[in-house]
Amino acid sequence: MTKSTKPLVSIILLNWNGYEDTLEALESLYQINYPNYNVIVVDNHSTNDSIDKIEQYAKGNIKFETEYTMFHEENKPIELIELTEDELDHTVDYTSTEDQKKLLLIKNFENYGFAKGNNIAIDYTLKYDKPDYVLLLNNDTIVDPDFLINMIDVALTDDNIGIVGPKFYYYEYNQSHNKIWCIGNVVDLKHYPGHHSIMEEDNYDLSKNVIDCDWVSGAGLLIKREAIPEDYLDTSFFFGCEDVDLAVTVRKEGYRIVSVMDSIIWHKVGMSRHKSSTFHTEYNHVKTNLQFIKKYNKNYYKDLPRYIGQIFKLYVRAIINKF
């Protein structure tokens, strides 16, 4: 497998005060079996020492070992290119090769949230790198070495495939006891939060390798360049649903969205949201989901009492389970 035979993929990770997760994610990325990719870390104005830790990691000065990822000293140092938000007006060479791993670090001036933070990197890579695909990847994920090649192989089978997602496992259950977090997702505007995992359906067939779905999680979302909307991710969503909204937009243009069973990612579910207070997290979670439903449900105000009732039931169930 030579580099020239495979599409260029730009991989984007968003970091905000989470360098421990980011470094583990990067280490797994630099061990994948794919020959043509570049990696962008967007730091959303971290207030801790994330920048310094990423710099030290690239030099090979931070060594760690986890159940999922062994530190590979042979691919260090990683060539690090750093650009601030106002320096993104020229091209730089940061495509990794077998002999030299590279990393572009974009330093934002504010915490712009998921959508705008990723949009800054999407805009840069589309303008200067012209990748065939862009991969949005949560920094609290670990990837299987074959995850990307398996995604790409499926994507190339059909020009109408616009978005590809993996099979997500919970990170917490470790590799020897894999437990599925989600496989594909369904948009259902009749019920709050308007979307759910396809795994909740009784008729799900695990024997299929490629599953058509309504959307895939932004924790690991591969999108074809031609399918990317002109305005990228909707920045009015600050706390979730950006990925659902993106998929709805892409599907309206006639593209397929699929999940690939032999593309594996382990996800530390909810790590970014755990950085906020419980009340703040839950309030914004509800607000954002209702925002998404309102955008696409023409009968939103008529159905609002039903949504509120469903939210109330969820809270009661959570309280009961807690005790």
Residue 51 lies in a domain: yes
pLDDT score of 279: 65
Residue pair 285/239 in contact by the 8 Å Cβ criterion: yes
pLDDT band at 273 (very low <50, low <70, confident <90, very high): very low
240: left (phi over 0), alpha (psi -120 to 50) or beta: left
Residue 146 pLDDT > 70, yes or no? yes
pLDDT score of 201: 46
pLDDT score of 198: 67
Question: Measured between alpha carbons, how far is 174 from 67 in angstroms, rounded to an integer?
Answer: 7
% pLDDT > 70, the chain: 91
Residue 167 lies in a domain: yes
Residue 321 burial (C-beta neighbours within 10 Å; 0-12, 13-18, 19+): exposed
pLDDT band at 151 (very low <50, low <70, confident <90, very high): very high
Residue pair 22/15 in contact by the 8 Å Cβ criterion: yes
Q: Domains in the chain: how many in total?
A: 1
Residue pair 91/125 in contact by the 8 Å Cβ criterion: no
- One-letter amino acid at 260 equals V
Query: In this structure, what token pair is assigned to residue 87?
Result: 């320096």
Residue 1 lies in a domain: no
Query: In this structure, what token pair is assigned to residue 98?
Result: 């077998």
Q: Residue 187's beta-bridge partner residues? A: 195
Residue 169 lies in a domain: yes
Residue 136 lies in a domain: yes
Residue 47 lies in a domain: yes
Dihedral over alpha carbons 63, 110, 130, 98 (to 10 degrees): -10
Residue 272 pLDDT > 50, yes or no? no
Residue 269 lies in a domain: yes
pLDDT band at 321 (very low <50, low <70, confident <90, very high): low
Lowest mean pLDDT among 54-58, 192-196, 197-201, 317-321: 197-201
Question: What is the pLDDT averaged over residues 127-135?
Answer: 97
Question: What is the pLDDT averaged over residues 64-92?
Answer: 93
Question: What is the pLDDT averaged over residues 211-220?
Answer: 94
The DSSP secondary structure of 90-124, one letter per residue, reads: S----EE-SS--EEEEEE-SS--HHHHHHHHHHHH
pLDDT band at 2 (very low <50, low <70, confident <90, very high): very low
232: left (phi over 0), alpha (psi -120 to 50) or beta: left
Q: Which domain holds residue 107?
A: 7-322
pLDDT tens-place string over residues 5-60? 899 999 999 999 999 999 999 999 999 999 999 999 999 999 999 999 999 999 99
Question: What is the pLDDT averaged over residues 128-148?
Answer: 97
Question: Measured between alpha carbons, how far is 229 from 245 in angstroms, rounded to an integer?
Answer: 11
Q: Which residue has the higher pLDDT, 175 or 154?
A: 154
Q: What is the CATH number of the domain that holds 177?
A: 3.90.550.10
Residue 2 lies in a domain: no
